[in-house]
Amino acid sequence: MVVNTSFTFGSLYNFVLLSKKIETRTMAGRDGANSKLEVTAFGLNKGKYDKKLWVIKDDSNEGEDSYQFYKTTAYGCCGAETVQRMYSFETGQHVFSSTVEPAVVDIPNTRIGRYISYLSALAVSTNLKKAGLSKNQIGLLTLTDEHRTIDRIVIESDDRSLGSSPTLSLVNDRNKAGTTRLSLWSSDGVDKPDAVRGFSVKLLFQDGVEVIVPVNGDKFDIQAISLPVKLKAKRLSTTK
């Protein structure tokens, strides 16, 4: 077993000291390695960084400060996909997990920002039942802010060839080709969650299978989803 320990300061929260420990164990005759990550955040207290703010423990290979999140990464192996897990930098609480690069939505001249992610059932080292996935459910599409889950839907299919993560992009009248970073200029300055609207999430699966999920009023518009007959979608509770 190899243990690596390092210390860094947060980038956005530069008054926070991060202590990171990664334990890596390789098994003879097996591909990959088992890693356990533990990150502790300390705040300043009377000139010393001895005020424990939060602790993250994760079965991941890497961990890093990622703006308003702390991001961990577990690398895929043997058919399983790499998964990123995003934790609130303020609280250390898990916000979302994703097997694709999350897309970001913002409303200009407000503090409103949203993150859209997709978690494949093929994600490595993931408790799928806890994540909200069960039999015949190939993926979970999630809408969050930097602290909590706002909405989520599962994609279902008996076609296991669609199990791999799709390409995720955001489309609207200004960005018909798709992007992973979208500013909602039609809602410019409207500092209300209901203004998160007027765009869609595009999921492009293997063999050109496409799912379009409109977003209106800070929710996935499940009644207006466009998807082929081999796929189904349903909303899940946001209570974890």
pLDDT tens, 104-117? Answer: 999 999 999 999 99
Tell me the pLDDT band of 131, cut-offs 50, 70 and 90: confident
CA distance 10 to 71: 12
Structure tokens that stand for 184 in this block: 């909602």
Give me the residues paired with residue 103 across strands: 116
Report percent pLDDT > 90 for the chain.
Answer: 69
Q: Is 120 part of any domain? A: yes
Q: Is 82 part of any domain? A: no
User: Using one digit for the tens of pLDDT, what is the confidence trace for 146-178?
Assistant: 999 999 999 999 888 898 999 999 999 989 899
Res 77: pLDDT: 84
User: Using one digit for the tens of pLDDT, what is the confidence trace for 25-55?
Assistant: 876 655 667 889 999 999 988 888 989 999 9
CA distance 192 to 169: 23
- Evaluate if residue 69 carries a pLDDT over 60: yes
Tell me the pLDDT band of 57, cut-offs 50, 70 and 90: very high
Q: Is 215 part of any domain? A: yes
Which pTM value belongs to this model?
0.90
Task: Count up the domains in the chain and report the number.
Answer: 1
Which residue range(s) make up the domain with 171?
93-235
Q: What is the mean pLDDT of the chain?
A: 90
Strand boundaries in the chain, DSSP class E: 2-9, 16-26, 33-45, 48-58, 62-66, 69-74, 83-88, 94-98, 103-106, 113-120, 137-144, 149-156, 167-171, 181-183, 199-204, 210-216, 219-220, 232-235
Q: Is 137 part of any domain? A: yes
Tell me the pLDDT band of 179, cut-offs 50, 70 and 90: very high
CA distance 108 to 187: 8
Q: Are 90 and 97 in contact (CB under 8 A)?
A: no
Burial category of 186 from C-beta neighbours within 10 Å (exposed 0-12, middle 13-18, buried 19 and up): middle
Q: Which residues does 47 contact at the CB level (< 8 Å), separation at least 6?
A: none
Res 238: pLDDT: 77
Q: Is 75 part of any domain? A: no
Burial category of 95 from C-beta neighbours within 10 Å (exposed 0-12, middle 13-18, buried 19 and up): buried
Q: CB count, 10 Å around CB of 37? A: 21
Report percent pLDDT > 70 for the chain.
Answer: 94
- Evaluate if residue 2 carries a pLDDT over 90: no
Q: Is 141 part of any domain? A: yes
Structure tokens that stand for 8 in this block: 């860094």
- Evaluate if residue 89 carries a pLDDT over 60: yes
CA distance 117 to 115: 7
Res 232: pLDDT: 92
DSSP state of 67: T
Tell me the pLDDT band of 199, cut-offs 50, 70 and 90: very high
